[in-house]
Structure 1
Amino acid sequence: MSDPFAGLFMAVLGLAGGIAVGSGMVALLIVFDLIPRLAQLSRAFNFSAVFESAVVGGSMFWTWADFFEWKVSLPAALVLPLPGLFCGIFIGMLAAALTEVMNVLPILAKRLRLTAYLGALVLAMVMGKIAGSLFDWLIYQW
């Protein structure tokens, strides 16, 4: 294969991959109604446009950062905690929204007769996830 065809193939492959990943993300956001549900859970429905803009803006920022290979020349101890915190918040909120959308917790609480303790059940699950993650990162990985 000559160079122009290789470049064209890579462009088509990259475009197809981007469309597949973008379609999956849009399907996740639309089918599960994540942004409105997240706004409802956080009691900030008036700010749902801000949530949508944050998702789009974050996607665009990190796409540009990846394309142009942006580098930050700061010590890792200063740089890593903030993105780690933001990633953890995003994943936690996404998991909470997915759990709520799929009605897992209310069904589980009803079957186990723990409806009155639903808040404590969620807190126990969050604390268990935090403890498990800390164990994995601080003890098991070393």
Structure 2
Amino acid sequence: MIMSLFILSMIGLSGGLAVGSGLVAFLTVLGVVPRLANLTKTENLLSLYEMSIVGGAIIGIWFSLGDPAFSFTNSLLVIIGLACGMFIGLLAAALTEVLNVFPILAKRIGLKGKVYILLWAIVLGKIAGSLYQWIFFVRS
């Protein structure tokens, strides 16, 4: 019994180290965090970004080990949803800046000089999809 628990612990630790190393390598190689700080003009808060990523990962892991249940008010849920949406949006913006996705995509679909149309289409599509999910799946 003790040996099987030890083996399971080592497998879990190894898997966590592998996934964590992959995430750190992804963020480091692409330079997502410094680019995100540059986009938001908050380069002086770079260490806060890094601590937030590590803290969020630790809290996410802690919650994934159990089955937590929260009961928040609707107004607090709106604030949490806005914060999560802003984070995902900023992270996506930083990734696209690093990878130059929009200019390449605009060139391939024939909107070379009109990248702003592509950006607005993506923004409005993201808003519509989020509202659809929120109204029909989260509230039911």
Percent identical pairs in the alignment equals 43
Question: Match of 2:89?
Answer: 92
Deviations 1:57-107 (A, max 9, x none): 2223344455577664x4463554343333222222222211121111122
Q: The residue matched to 1:43 in structure 2 has which SS?
A: coil
Deviations 1:95-130 (A, max 9, x none): 221112111112233453443x43443233111111
Q: Which structure 2 segments of 5+ residues have no match?
A: none
| Aligned partner of 2:28 among 27, 30, 37 | 30
User: TM-score, normalised to structure 2's length?
Assistant: 0.77
Which residue does 1:11 correspond to in 2? 9
Aligned residues, how many?
Answer: 138
Mark the runs of 5 or more structure 1 residues left unpaired by the alignment: none
CA separation of 1:46 and 1:120: change in aligned 2, threshold 3 A: farther
CA distance in 2, matches of 1:58, 1:139: 28
Residues 52 and 119 of structure 1, relative CA distance in 2, 3 Å threshold: farther
Compute the RMSD of aligned alpha carbons.
2.8
